[in-house]
């Protein structure tokens, strides 16, 4: 029989007011939170709901937070034991605080995750790794995998990363899982610890240790993320948008600004959620307001612009980037608060995805009414635009935008010129890509809407798309069984294209959408379905030691992509030590900014796929990849890096470091000390 081996949790209490009767703060089920499951519990005082709850000290398990000052909620992100001092107010107005212990558990043998301390050079530290579940006692501990980063961790573009795949001589682990460190140098050590229980079951977990001359100083990776964010704010974000600049300082890439503004918004939200810093708060607010402006400036309900432009071009370019030309979807606003501004329209599902993702992240992380109202208004308005226009993103001229056919039974070619559209030409073709996006956006609207009636309306629309019976909405009877079409995505060469034509920016859209679709879904059966589909996208179709054994079977798990990895793991509500190791190693090695063209200084041997010399067998190390708008949406196997063109000395904004760093910190995939 399997047993849990978790210390009994004693909740002691102490009334703050002298002489007051004892009162107890408790969180039901805090000692047995199931991994992978949604957890939600009221914070009680003597069995009654408390209010104005505050986290005074300590921490909740990663992935959980105090919501609305009344409950603890969320998906736990790993097996943990933590303690937090919570303060609440009872019905009598009495302030009560005490420590509550939390345990995220699994009946299987698992190692308990914890952050390792930053060890001062010249000193010694020991940390015991604990196990849970399975059949104790636990033993046979070893380092299954190690990588040691030195000299700041980050690679110089075009040069080999400062890392070796061995443990430093000053670090060891004992049979009973005691890690000992007596560093004589600064370094970051990534490690996977392996152990066995008495029944022979093996458990592995990822940990990281930093050795530093000054343990109180920010870690190398955090410094890099902060430097990228500072540069982003100073050079790349006029009026809150995310842009690129050329060698002369002129702004570029207005066409994809909306998706990267939303992506940065999510990163800024995690930054603020992790640190609580005023600077992070202002960054988030600036980006949030920018996504609202993208929606408001078009004058079409729920339609967002790809970008807008005011006067930021002055002194940088001889003329505005967006010059009025309605035939080219470029408009000037002639009245209202944005009079004189210009915007680029014809937004696609890409732009909608970024703005949805960023706003949903803000709504999910914060309770402040102003944030939630703004995010909710943006989300519901955008979803309404799609619904009101018969599953299209509709331009101001009454025509759908390029890649604006959004029905789960509609599809367009890569140019956006030809389409199978059930509403305009009667053609129906199952499209799991569109189905996932629409399910996410409608479920998102049902989750974040500000009143019960609107929530119920969107919940009904969402459920009608899920059910197998005909949709009861007149004219939309065929819009059903979306969950039965989810694997018809045509991304990795399943249909219409070959594997070698895979476009990774489509994978970026899918991961962004499955993240909230899974996390906002509280029905177990549907959540399981979404997780299974995400696993299908994630896992190689064949186990192989080298990607050239069967390259067409490679999937996302091989790519060491932190942006996709964090979304995949957080959607599952669990950890994967090897995948965390891979993704974090790439993020540490990611070169410091500014991200710009470079020449290769250290030659590197990259094995290529026979017959496809431009495809690597394994992902090209990040330090050798051609810089891009958002590195994680570009081909990881491309040897020559054909995109984007960089003849003008293009500089990129760094959201590909900022967002995965702070998201990884929030969910505990990236330890705070490194």
Q: Give φ, ψ of 291 to 5 degrees.
A: -70, -35
Domain with residue 81: its CATH number is 2.60.40.10
Q: What is the spatial distance between Cα 535 and Cα 190, in angstroms, rounded to a whole number? A: 25
Helix or strand run (H / E) with residue 195: strand 187-196
Q: Is 161 inside a domain boundary? A: yes
477 pLDDT more than 90: yes
Structure-block tokens of residue 247: 């060698």
Are residues 309 and 185 both part of a single domain? no
pLDDT of residue 647: 64
Q: What is the spatial distance between Cα 361 and Cα 378, in angstroms, rounded to a whole number? A: 12
Structure-block tokens of residue 82: 């933590």
Are residues 621 and 662 both part of a single domain? yes
Structural domain count of the chain: 3
pLDDT of residue 17: 38
Q: Is 643 inside a domain boundary? A: yes
Q: Tell me the per-residue pLDDT of 53-91, one tens digit each, with 9 for 90 and over.
A: 999 999 999 999 999 899 999 999 999 999 999 999 988
Q: What is the spatial distance between Cα 628 and Cα 501, in angstroms, rounded to a whole number? A: 19
Structure-block tokens of residue 363: 């709504």
Closest CA to 518 of 509, 527, 529: 527
Mean pLDDT estimate for the chain: 93
| Residue whose pair of structure tokens reads 């760094």 in the numeric block | 654
Structure-block tokens of residue 489: 């995505």
Q: What is the spatial distance between Cα 355 and Cα 375, in angstroms, rounded to a whole number? A: 10
Are residues 239 and 340 both part of a single domain? yes
Are residues 311 and 166 both part of a single domain? no
Q: Tell me the per-residue pLDDT of 7-62, one tens digit each, with 9 for 90 and over.
A: 333 333 333 333 445 678 999 999 999 999 999 999 999 889 988 999 999 999 99
Are residues 162 and 97 both part of a single domain? no
DSSP assignments along 652-673, one per residue: B--HHHHHHHHHHHHHTSS-TT
Q: What is the spatial distance between Cα 116 and Cα 669, in angstroms, rounded to a whole number? A: 13
Q: Tell me the per-residue pLDDT of 157-213, one tens digit each, with 9 for 90 and over.
A: 999 999 999 999 999 999 999 999 999 999 999 999 999 999 999 999 999 999 999
pLDDT of residue 2: 31
Q: What percent of the chain has pLDDT over 90?
A: 85
Whether the CB-CB separation of 270 and 659 falls below 8 Å is answered with yes
Whether the CB-CB separation of 232 and 264 falls below 8 Å is answered with yes
- Strand boundaries in 246-341, DSSP class E: 251-252, 307-309, 330-332
Residues 338/340/346/348 CA torsion (nearest 10 deg): -40
Closest CA to 647 of 599, 597, 600: 597
Q: At what angle do helices 220-231 and 655-667 cross, to 10 degrees?
A: 130
Q: Is 344 inside a domain boundary? A: yes
Q: Tell me the per-residue pLDDT of 294-350, one tens digit each, with 9 for 90 and over.
A: 999 999 999 999 999 999 999 999 999 999 999 999 999 999 999 999 999 999 999
Domain with residue 303: its CATH number is 1.50.10
Helix or strand run (H / E) with residue 381: helix 369-388
Are residues 555 and 657 both part of a single domain? yes
Residue 299 sits in which domain range? 222-667
Domain stop point among 217, 238, 256: 217
Q: What is the spatial distance between Cα 24 and Cα 151, in angstroms, rounded to a whole number? A: 50
Q: Is 1 inside a domain boundary? A: no
Are residues 578 and 455 both part of a single domain? yes
Residue 300, judged by CB atoms within 10 A of its CB (0-12, 13-18, 19+), counts as: middle
The model's pTM is: 0.95
Domain stop point among 182, 217, 252: 217
Q: Is 413 inside a domain boundary? A: yes
Beta partners for residue 97, in sequence order: 14, 87
Q: Is 185 inside a domain boundary? A: yes
Are residues 342 and 319 both part of a single domain? yes
Are residues 593 and 661 both part of a single domain? yes
Q: Is 535 helix (H, G, I), strand (E, B) or coil?
A: helix
Structure-block tokens of residue 511: 């991961």
Are residues 648 and 661 both part of a single domain? yes
Domain stop point among 217, 247, 268: 217
Are residues 544 and 633 both part of a single domain? yes
415 pLDDT more than 80: no
Structure-block tokens of residue 358: 């960023």
Structure-block tokens of residue 291: 């996504």
DSSP assignments along 264-314, one per residue: HHHHHHHHHHHH--HHHHHHHHHHHHHHHHHHHTT-STTPPPSEEESSTTT
235 pLDDT more than 90: yes
Number of other residues whose CB lies within 10 A of the CB of residue 15: 17
Q: What is the spatial distance between Cα 340 and Cα 313, in angstroms, rounded to a whole number? A: 14
Which DSSP symbol is given to 651? B
Are residues 62 and 161 both part of a single domain? no
Q: Is 607 inside a domain boundary? A: yes
Q: Is 599 inside a domain boundary? A: yes
């Amino acid at each position: 029989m399997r047993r849990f081996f978790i210390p009994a949790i004693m909740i002691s209490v102490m009334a703050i007011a002298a002489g007051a009767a004892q009162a107890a703060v408790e969180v039901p089920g805090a000692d047995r939170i199931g991994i992978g499951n949604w957890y939600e519990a009221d914070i009680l005082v003597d069995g009654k709901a408390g209010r104005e709850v505050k986290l005074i000290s300590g921490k909740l398990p990663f992935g959980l937070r105090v919501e609305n000052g009344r409950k603890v909620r969320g998906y736990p992100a790993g097996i943990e034991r933590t303690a937090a001092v919570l303060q609440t107010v009872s019905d009598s107005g009495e302030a009560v605080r005490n420590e509550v212990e939390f345990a995220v558990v699994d009946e299987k043998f698992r190692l308990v995750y914890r952050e390792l301390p930053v060890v001062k050079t010249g000193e010694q530290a020991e940390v015991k790794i604990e196990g849970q579940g399975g059949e104790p006692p636990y033993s046979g501990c070893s380092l299954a995998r190690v990588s040691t980063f030195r000299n700041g961790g980050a690679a110089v573009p075009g040069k080999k990363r400062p890392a070796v795949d061995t443990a430093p001589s000053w670090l060891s682990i004992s049979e009973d899982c005691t890690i000992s460190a007596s560093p004589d140098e600064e370094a970051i050590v990534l490690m996977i610890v392996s152990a066995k229980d008495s029944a022979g079951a093996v458990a592995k977990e990822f940990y990281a240790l930093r050795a530093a001359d000054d343990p109180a100083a920010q870690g190398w990776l955090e410094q890099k993320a902060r430097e990228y964010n500072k540069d982003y704010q100073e050079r790349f974000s006029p009026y809150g948008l995310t842009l690129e600049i050329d060698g002369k300082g002129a702004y570029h890439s207005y066409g994809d600004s909306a998706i990267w503004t939303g992506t940065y918004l999510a990163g800024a939200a995690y930054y603020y959620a992790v640190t609580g810093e005023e600077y992070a708060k202002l960054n988030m607010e600036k980006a949030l307001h920018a996504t609202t402006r993208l929606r408001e400036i078009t004058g079409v309900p729920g339609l967002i612009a790809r970008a807008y432009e005011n006067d930021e071009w002055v002194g940088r370019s001889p003329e505005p980037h967006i010059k009025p030309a309605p035939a080219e979807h470029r408009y000037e606003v002639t009245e209202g608060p944005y009079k004189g501004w210009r915007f680029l329209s014809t937004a696609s599902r890409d732009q909608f995805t970024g703005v949805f993702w960023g706003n949903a992240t803000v709504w999910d992380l914060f309770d402040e009414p102003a944030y939630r109202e703004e995010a909710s208004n943006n989300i519901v308005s955008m979803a309404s635009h799609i619904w009101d226009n018969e599953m299209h993103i509709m331009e101001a001229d009454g025509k759908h935008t390029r890649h604006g056919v959004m029905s789960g039974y509609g599809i367009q070619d890569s140019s956006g010129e030809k389409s199978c559209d059930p509403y305009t030409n009667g053609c129906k073709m199952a499209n799991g890509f569109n189905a996932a996006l629409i399910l996410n956006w409608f479920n998102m609207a049902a989750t974040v809407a500000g009143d019960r009636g609107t929530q119920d309306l969107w919940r009904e629309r969402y459920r009608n798309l899920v059910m197998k019976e005909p949709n009861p909405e007149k004219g939309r009877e065929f819009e059903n069984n979306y969950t039965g079409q989810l694997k018809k995505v045509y991304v990795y060469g399943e249909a219409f294209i070959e594997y070698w034509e895979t476009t990774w920016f489509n994978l970026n859209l899918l991961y962004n959408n499955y993240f909230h679709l899974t996390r906002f879904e509280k029905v177990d059966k549907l959540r399981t379905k979404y997780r299974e589909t995400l696993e299908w996208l994630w896992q190689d179709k064949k186990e192989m030691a080298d990607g050239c054994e069967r390259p067409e079977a490679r999937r996302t798990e091989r790519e060491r992509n932190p942006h996709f990895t964090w979304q995949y793991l957080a959607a599952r509500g669990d950890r994967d030590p090897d995948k965390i190791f891979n993704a974090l190693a790439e993020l540490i090695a990611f070169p410091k900014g500014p991200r710009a063209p470079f020449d290769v200084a250290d030659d590197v041997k990259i094995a290529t796929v026979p017959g496809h010399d431009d495809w690597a067998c394994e992902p090209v190390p990040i330090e050798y990849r051609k810089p891009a708008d958002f590195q994680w949406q570009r081909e990881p196997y491309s040897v020559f890096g054909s995109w984007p063109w960089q003849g003008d000395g293009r500089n990129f904004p760094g959201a590909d470091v900022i967002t995965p760093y702070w998201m990884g910190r929030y969910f505990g995939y990236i330890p705070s000390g490194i």
